[in-house]
Amino acid sequence: MKQIIKVAALIVFLSFCFFGSSSLADSKGIIKYRQNVMKSTAGHMGAIVDILKNDLPLQAHILDHARSIQQNSKMTLAMFPKGTGLGNTKAKPAIWENWSKFESAVQDFERESAKLVKVAESGDMEALAKQVRATGKTCGGCHRNFRKRD
């Protein structure tokens, strides 16, 4: 009888280890993924700023960068499923504690980057500079509440 209990305890312990580590491995993948998508968002933002600031003869690229940012904005919410706050991540637990607030920060980002595309389509460079700032504010607005500082 004692033997059976020991074996049962061992099975429970091992399955705990197995599932525990496999879910951590899952988080590791998605954490890396969302960091890569965030980096690409920052890359496209920086590229637009470079074109504007240095007056590069690449204004024709701006619309595509803006579209990429908007595409990324639509991916943002799904990159933060519940249970992915542990590991090598700067995501704060506040994301899952205040999910609706996080959702609205994502919506701000989606809305402003959609406007960025519209303005880029119009070719109005002054309006574009303003809208780049407005879009950038939505990054900071979310990071302030939901991303850990270095």
| 132 sits near ligand HEC (criterion: CB under 6 A) | no
Among 105, 119, 120, 128, binds ligand HEC (CB under 6 A): 105
96-128 burial: b if 16+ Cβ within 10 Å, else e: beeeeebeebbebbbebbbbbbebbeeeeeeeb
Report yes or no: 81 and 57 within 8 Å, Cβ to Cβ.
Answer: no
| 142 sits near ligand HEC (criterion: CB under 6 A) | yes
Among 89, 120, 131, 132, binds ligand HEC (CB under 6 A): 89
Cα 106–Cα 26–Cα 87 angle in degrees, nearest 5:
75
Nearest approach, Cβ of residue 47 and ligand HEC (Å): 11
- Which residues are near ligand HEC by CB under 6 A? 31, 34-35, 38-39, 41-42, 45, 69, 76, 89-91, 102, 105-106, 109, 135, 138-139, 142-143, 146-147
